[in-house]
Every structure is written in C-alpha cells, then in structure tokens.
Structure 1
Amino acid sequence: MPLRGDQDDPGNRLNGIAVPYPGSRVAFRHRESRRSGHGAARRWLACGSARGAAILDLVELRAPEERHLQAAEAATKAAAESQTRRMVDNIPDLLRENPDHPHWDVVADRCLSCANCTLACPTCFCSDVEDVNDLTGDHTERWRTWDSCFTADFSYVHGGSVRRSTKSRYRQWLTHKLSTWHDQFGSSGCVGCGRCIAWCPVGIDITAEAAAFAAGPQQSGG
C-alpha cells in the first residue's frame, strides 16, 4: 500500500516531502530501474486527490521506504540551492502597489507578445471556449481550447479588447503570476523552472524584471 497523508497534514507535507497540490488523499510510490552505465533510476509519483490515489493503487509500484523519502528531500533541497537566480521577497506587494510603475513601459518595449512564456510555463492555464459545428450544421460541440493572455483576442469583448497594449497584457500576466496568484492559490505562480526565460526570443528574465521593480523608482497608481 502507498504511504498516505490527509489534507490536514501540517503544511500539506508527507514525511517531510512537500506535496505539490492540496488534496484529500496523497500517495507516493517508488520504482527502481536499471540503466546501462547509470545505476539505479528512481521515479516518484505523487497525487493530490482521492481519485489520483485510486489510480496509483492500480499500478504495480511499491511504497517508498524512509531512506527513499530522505533521498528525495535531499535531492529537492540540492536542486533548489543550485538555482542562481532569486526572486525578490516582497514582489507580491511591489506589483500590487505599482500598476503605473515606469518599468512596465521598459519591459513592454521589449516584449513581442508572442506568448512563448505562457506556452512554456507549467502553471499557465488560460483557455478559450469555442462552439464548433459539423458540416451539416446539425451538431454543435463546445470546446475548451488552450489560449494565452498575451494574445490580443484573449480579452476581446463586444466593445473591443480589454487589454489592447502589450504593456497591459504583460502587467496582467506578471502581476497574476507573482502577486495575485498568492491570493488565488496560496503560493507563487512561478515554480523557478526558467522555461519562460529560455523560450523568450528577446531574453526577458522574469527574475530581473521583478528585481527592477524593487530597485527602481516606485510610482503608485490609483
């Protein structure tokens, strides 16, 4: 049987390992496999709901031992310490209190609104809804499709686009990701993977932009 913990566990943790998403049930499974010349390879699976735990119960994997949990926690800590970029501590308040900060214009002049960052980000979830008809017109399906808040059509309503400028769209994305995400989910929307930095064609660094708000002049908006 897998090791499990209820959602009431302090800090939503199980044996010291942080659970990525809250849920009624949590399960960890461990599997070892041999790779030629690479020794043992471990795979960890974590679920954040009772439905996920039920699926894991159908998979022939064994529960981890305490040494495996300790190794996973050590590997997680080592990965975190290896990251050289750091986000400023007070960025949620800085973004919330400075919607008219002059740096929004600076970054907007560089941003292409290509949406690469949102497509690469593991936490972005913007979507659109489309009604799709068949060729006869007798059958219609409503589809939910992946979208990006950087496109001009994303916030388009009867009177036009709500966010017509690149500046307004970038401000919405960064403020949601690093500030109001805390209000919505209780944590930052940035997981530190660096994908948005790697895939930005003009080299915008989210950590550098956050630092600019902390270092530069602040101009609070109404």
Structure 2
Amino acid sequence: MTPAETVRVSRALYIEIRDWLLANDPDGPENYEWAQTIVPPETAEHLGSDIIWIILCAGRSAQAARTLEKRVFAALRAGQPAVTAFGYRAKAAAIDRAWMERDADFAAFQAVHTTGDVDAMLEWCGAIPFVGAITKYQLAKNVGFDVCKPDIWLARLAGLPEKTPAARLFPACQSLCAGLAAATGDRIAAVDSVLWLACNKQLMEIDAAGVRFVPRVGVRRSIFEAAE
C-alpha cells in the first residue's frame, strides 16, 4: 500500500466501515461472510450462474441486476431464451450461450483453475462474451481468486483520476485492498466487498481531499433482493 492510499483509507477507517455495516446494514453480514468464504464453483450450473450474474451487473447497480437475474433465470428454467426477460439482445445471446455451454465452460474453467495462475484465469474470464476489461476481475473474484474488482468506486477510494489506464488501475486498487487485508486479517475479496457495499449504499464521500464515512441507514434497498 502506498502512503497516499494509507491516508485515504486507513486501517482504522476500514474497520469502522466494516463493523458499522456488520452491525447496521441488512446486507453487511451476508456480503462480508460471502466474500470471506468464496470457493470455486463446484458445478457447471454454479459457474454458469456466476457468468450470467457478471454479464447482468455490467453497467448497472447490483439492485437492478438482481431484479433482472430473477427474470432471466425464470425464463431459462422455463426453456425460453433470455431475450424474453432481458431486451438487450446481444447480452441476452451471451447469457443463453453461458447457460447452454455451461458444461464446456466448466471443463475449461477447471483446467485453468488447477494451475492457480491468476493471469491465466483473468485471460479466460476476459474471453467470455460480454465479460469486459473490468468485470473479468469481478468474475475471477467470484470464482475464488483473491483479486479485487477495480471499478470506479475503488478507483476513487485509491485516489486515481478518471479514465486511469487499465495498466495502472488494477495494480493500484489491488494494492489498496491487499494492504488493508494484511493489516486486518480479512481477505482481499472481503476488503473489496466491504468498501464496494459502503459505496453502493451511499455511505462514502470521496473527493480530492480524501475519503469520509457517512453512516446512515436505509438509503438503498438490499443488493440480494429482487424488486417485485
């Protein structure tokens, strides 16, 4: 962790955020427990679901993606194409592919996963249709690799300017999370998830002067529940 990152998100600030979420936010315990205990998918269905979730998350909030996920899986399990539930045709086709080819994807995933090579896993994730330059990190994290997703929130927390080149974005964000993980005993994935949830729930003020935690309850609905 660089000195600048330490000042922006200190160990004490991270612990304050984490402990407040665990005690006060309805999503805090589940989000933290999941991130602390992520394991690789054990079935093709699990991996297919992980891939579809990442495709749905791109460009929208977790809350919106959760509602779409419910509709998409209702369609898939009824034998209908994803486009009947999700109007973005190109993404819907990618979702159909992920579900129909889940056995082949799972075999390919296992071959890469057994190597333990993070770069190889990121390359594999990034080759999946509609898994992009940022969401490939999210998928790698969700299938068990201890990497952060260097999204716009984590970039801002790390003090990175808008449109930071990808070559700098991930190393800086990973350094921030790895430093806090080493200082607290949490997994890198858990640090990433705690900071992301605080941003999602609009509990953070981030600007050039620094990072401030603004605790308040009930600002946004659950990330785990689909809207009716």
Q: TM-score range by the shorter chain?
A: under 0.3
**Higher relative contact order, chain-length normalized (CA < 8 Å, sep 6+):** 2
Structure 2 length-normalised TM: 0.24
Structure 1 length-normalised TM: 0.25
Q: Which is helix-richer, 1 or 2?
A: 2
* Structure with max Cα Rg: 1
